[in-house]
Amino acid sequence: MSTTLIGFVWKDKEAKMIIRALLLLLLSGGMAISVQGCRSNCAKCGVINDEAMRYLKADRVELSRQRFKLCLEYDPDYMLCLNGLGMIALREKKFKKAAKFFKKALAKNSNFAQARVNLGFVYAHWKNYKRARHLFYSAVRIDPALKDARYNLARMLIHLRRWKKARAHLLRLTAFYPRFSEAHALLGYVEFERKNWKQAARHFLRTVQISPNHLSAHINLCKVLYFLGTFPQACWHCNQALRIDPQNAESKAAKQQVDIKLRQFGKRCQ
């Protein structure tokens, strides 16, 4: 059985997935911002920004872009709309353009935590991990409960193999958001690397309780339970992973290893 878990290596994800995660947080009330130094058109800009964000969430990118640009006609320094245009650029993988908008938003308000997180994504893409980590750290200091700030800080710390610090941030994150499945999945990965097998299994189990179709958590549970010697349970999670993705090579390989063990006891993983 491979001792490598899956799903938690820091890499350049699809920008559309990144932007969707950010949008879900923003539109669910995850960001309460006081627009400092706002001009007389502040209220109008706020309404336009909200419209633009709804369009972007619905994948109506051009309409969203038009609304953000209209917003900046009323106030060229309106930081939420600058951030919105940066998010569109990030979605389109125009990273230099995205960075420009995020930096302009931060020039307006250096305490704009979400823009710091977004800019951190850009620097992570550029593999400037030191700068990305600084941006994530500063966002957490500004807004300790900002979900994607602490989550991506933990991912960065995992990339740097700083397990203890990553674990501390993830425990704090699950205290803020007990049903945040990705945080539990990351905790499982950290505990696995720290050789805390039972704790790893507990967090992966919590992940699939919250998100029953979490593929990587089922695969990783199959592996962790194999190491713990609970082969029937390991088999069940391998089968769940194959139910979600019947062609997944990692699931097939893990199931084969579990089946070999079960045969020693006159059983099969079917």
pTM to 2 decimals?
A: 0.80
User: What is the structure's pLDDT at 248?
Assistant: 93
List phi, psi (to 5°) of 161.
Answer: 65, 35
User: What is the structure's pLDDT at 43?
Assistant: 84
Domains 1-112 and 183-270 share a fold: yes
Q: Which residues of the chain have pLDDT under 70?
A: 1-40
pLDDT in tens, 3-35: 444 444 444 444 445 555 555 555 444 444 444
User: What is the structure's pLDDT at 201?
Assistant: 96
User: What is the structure's pLDDT at 7?
Assistant: 45
How far apart, in whole angstroms, are the C-alpha atoms of residue 213 and residue 199? 21
User: What is the structure's pLDDT at 270?
Assistant: 86
User: What is the structure's pLDDT at 76?
Assistant: 94
- The sign one gets for the Cα dihedral 52, 63, 37, 103 is positive
Neighbours of 30 (CB within 10 A): 16
User: What is the structure's pLDDT at 34?
Assistant: 42
User: What's 1-112's CATH class?
Assistant: mainly alpha
The alpha-helical segments, DSSP class H, found in 60-214 are: 61-74, 79-91, 95-108, 113-125, 129-142, 147-159, 163-176, 181-193, 197-210
User: What is the structure's pLDDT at 1?
Assistant: 53
User: What is the structure's pLDDT at 224?
Assistant: 95
User: What is the structure's pLDDT at 38?
Assistant: 54
The CATH number of the structural domain formed by 183-270 is 1.25.40.10
Tokens 């909200």 -> residue: 50
Each domain of the chain, given as residue ranges in start order, spans 1-112, 183-270
